[in-house]
Chains A and B, each alone.
Chain A
Amino acid sequence: MHEPLDKTEPATRARIAAAFNGGIPHNQAIGLEVVDVSGDWVHTRLAYREAFLGDPVARLWHTSVGTTAADSSCGLAVFLALPTLEAIATLDLRMDYLRPAVAGKPLQVRASCHHITRYVAFVRAMLYQNDIDRPTAHCTAVFMRTGRQMLP
C-alpha cells in the first residue's frame, strides 16, 4: 500500500522534485537543477554554458533558454501543488523579457502555482541571475490537468 502523500512535507517535496526533474531528458541535457522546493514555490537553477548564447556579439543568453527553464519550473510547481501525482501539460505560456541575461552568470527561476481549478492550474515565475530584485524575465503559464496518474 502507498502511504498518503503529504506534499507539504519538505523531504517528500524534495523527493518528488528530484524524480520529476530526473525523469525529463531535456532538463538533464541542459543541466537544470532543483535548488529548493521546501516552501510553496519552486527554485531552480541553470548554470551558464556557451551553448546557451543567443547573441554572440553582445554575449547574452538566448531568451528561450529561460523559457525552457520557466516551463519546467512552472510544471514542477503545478505538480507539487496538485493533491496527487497527476500528469499535466502546458496549455499556454507567456514570457515578458524584462532585461537581458548576461553570459557567465547562472539563470535562476522561482515559480509558484497560485490557483488550481478542476481542469487547469495557473502559475507565475520570475527569472533572474544573481540578484532576485533585478529579474530578467517574468512568466505566466496555464497547465492542463490530465486526470491521469503518473507512475509512482
Chain B
Amino acid sequence: MSATLEDIHAAVAAGDYARLVAAIPYAEFLGLRVEIDAADARASERIYVMAYRDELVGNAQLPALHGGTVAGLLEMAMQLEVLIAESEQRLPYPVDFTIDYWRSAGPADCRVACRLIRSGRHIAQVQAECWQADRERPIAFARADFLLRSPD
C-alpha cells in the first residue's frame, strides 16, 4: 500500500518522524531515523541518522560506506528538513545537489544536521554536514536547492 499525501501531512503535523520515514520507501531503504537531542543546546535541532548495515558498503577492503549512500542521507535529510521546517504540503523537489567528500565513511552510523539558509516563495536553499563518531570531524558536506510546490 502506498502512502498518501494525508499520511505525510499527518506525520509532519504530529511530529511523528518514524511514520514520515515509513511513508517514503527510499528513506526507509536507507534506514533513516530522525532524532532530537533534548540535552543539546541547539534545542529543537533534528539529527538525521542512517544506521550502519553491510548493504551500504562501497569498499569492502577499507571498509567504507558507498559515497552514494552518504549523498542519499544528506539529500533526504535536507528534503525532510525543508518539509518539516516550512510545513510544506508536498515533498520539496530537488533542483540540484552537490556533495564534497571530506573523509572516508567508516562502517558506522552516519549523522546529519541541516541548515536552512533561505526559503523564498519558490525555492529553498539548504546546507548539511555529515559526521560519524565526532561531530567536529565531519565526513561530508552538501548543499541543495529545492522547489517548493503548492498543492495542486
Contacts and interface: CB of A to CB of B under 8 A. Distances in A.
Given A25-B60, A94-B98, A57 B3 contact: yes
B125 interface: no
A92 interface: yes
Q: How would you classify the secondary structure of chain B's contact residues: helix, strand, loop or mixed?
A: mixed
A55 interface: yes
A92 B93 CA distance: 22
Q: How would you classify the secondary structure of chain A's contact residues: helix, strand, loop or mixed?
A: mixed
Interface residues of B, number: 41
Contacts of B55: 25-26, 29
B60 A64 contact: no
Measured as residues with beta carbon below 8 angstroms from the partner, the interface class of chain A is 35 or more
A63 B68 contact: no
A38 B9 CA distance: 48
A147 to B, nearest CB: 15
Interface stretch (A9-17, A45-53, A78-86, A115-123): A45-53
B138 to A, nearest CB: 14
B15 interface: no
B26 A54 contact: yes
Contact of B60 (A23, A62, A69, A70): A23
Interface string B79-100: 0000000000011011111111
Interface stretch (B41-49, B69-77, B115-123): B69-77
B76 A64 contact: yes
Contact of B98 (A72, A89, A93): A93
B68 A69 contact: yes
Contacts of A24: 57-60, 66
Given A24-B58, A52-B25, A62-B72, 5 more contacts: A51-B29, A57-B4, A65-B26, A89-B101, A93-B71
